[in-house]
A = this chain, B = another copy of it.
């Protein structure tokens, strides 16, 4: 039961405070809203309301809204770390497969909340889970015989590529029309490319719809493979 029809005006003490007013409590509430309603609803006003206070109170614990959003990413990276730790126990697995699995898991985690991927790109990540992912990738690169000098720059490329891919290909939340959105935009894109002026854009016209071929996983596995081959073949200057 517990259905309350008609809002009591100004009922300030309906429930006990869900969480204490601490940094952790604030992040907890933010994660709850994020999981149930998406990042767009994770606003300072909303969090404050959930904690039965005003938005001004949060500024004792957080610097600003972006600071808070950045904190949320690390929590979403937990499953990636879990799978990374599992893979360390099985070092027999090919190092390339290990990196691919790691990055697949990383992308999967971000796809769960693609708005976070955009934030991951702009804010400097330094949470424990993110560091663990970086460390795991470095470990696999070392196992594959990639020298440290090149690994140092390669890990950035690999994670940057994975993050950007999510940002680019995530469903730009439609709020409506759940099915077919991606498929439709693909067909729109295909006809756009087929209609391209061959005189102005000869190479696009020549390749045509093959520019859009393959699914996400296929393209990504090829991309990672190419990235690794390139890293192995390209010494860092001087």
Known interface pairs A167-B122, A226-B227. Does A196 touch B233 (Cβ–Cβ under 8 Å)? no
Which of B121, B165, B218 touches A167 (beta carbons < 8 Å)?
B121
Q: How far is the CA of A204 from the CA of B152 in the complex (A)?
A: 9
- Give every chain B residue within 8 A of A223 (Cβ-Cβ): 153, 157
Task: Tell whether A2 is near chain B: CB-to-CB under 8 Å.
Answer: no
The reply to whether B204 and A124 contact each other, CB–CB distance below 8 Å, is no
The reply to whether B218 and A225 contact each other, CB–CB distance below 8 Å, is no
Q: Mark A121-134, 1 if CB is under 8 A from B, else 0.
A: 11110101001101
Rounded to whole Å, the gap between the CB of A226 and the closest CB of chain B is 4
Task: Tell whether A206 is near chain B: CB-to-CB under 8 Å.
Answer: yes
Q: How far is the CA of A131 from the CA of B138 in the complex (A)?
A: 36
What is the interface residue range for chain A against chain B? 35 or more
The reply to whether B201 and A132 contact each other, CB–CB distance below 8 Å, is yes
Task: Tell whether A210 is near chain B: CB-to-CB under 8 Å.
Answer: yes
Q: Which residues, 151 to 177 on A, are CB-close (under 8 Å) to B? A: 151-157, 160-161, 163-165, 167-168, 172
Known interface pairs A189-B124, A226-B233. Does A202 touch B152 (Cβ–Cβ under 8 Å)? no
Q: In the complex, what residue of chain B is closest to A161 when comparing beta carbons?
A: B161
Task: Tell whether A219 is near chain B: CB-to-CB under 8 Å.
Answer: yes
Which of B118, B123, B135 touches A203 (beta carbons < 8 Å)?
B135
- Give every chain B residue within 8 A of A145 (Cβ-Cβ): none
Task: Tell whether A192 is near chain B: CB-to-CB under 8 Å.
Answer: yes
The reply to whether A204 and B164 contact each other, CB–CB distance below 8 Å, is no
Task: Tell whether A148 is near chain B: CB-to-CB under 8 Å.
Answer: yes
Question: How many copies of this chain does one complex carry?
Answer: 2
The reply to whether B165 and A135 contact each other, CB–CB distance below 8 Å, is no
The reply to whether B227 and A229 contact each other, CB–CB distance below 8 Å, is no
- Give every chain B residue within 8 A of A101 (Cβ-Cβ): none
- Give every chain B residue within 8 A of A196 (Cβ-Cβ): 131
Q: How far is the CA of A159 from the CA of B134 in the complex (A)?
A: 23
Task: Tell whether A213 is near chain B: CB-to-CB under 8 Å.
Answer: yes
Q: In the complex, what residue of chain B is closest to A225 when comparing beta carbons?
A: B234
Which of B139, B213, B236 touches A222 (beta carbons < 8 Å)?
B236
Q: Which residues, 180 to 226 on A, are CB-close (under 8 Å) to B? A: 185, 189, 192, 196, 200-204, 206-207, 210-211, 213-214, 218-219, 221-223, 225-226
The reply to whether A160 and B161 contact each other, CB–CB distance below 8 Å, is yes
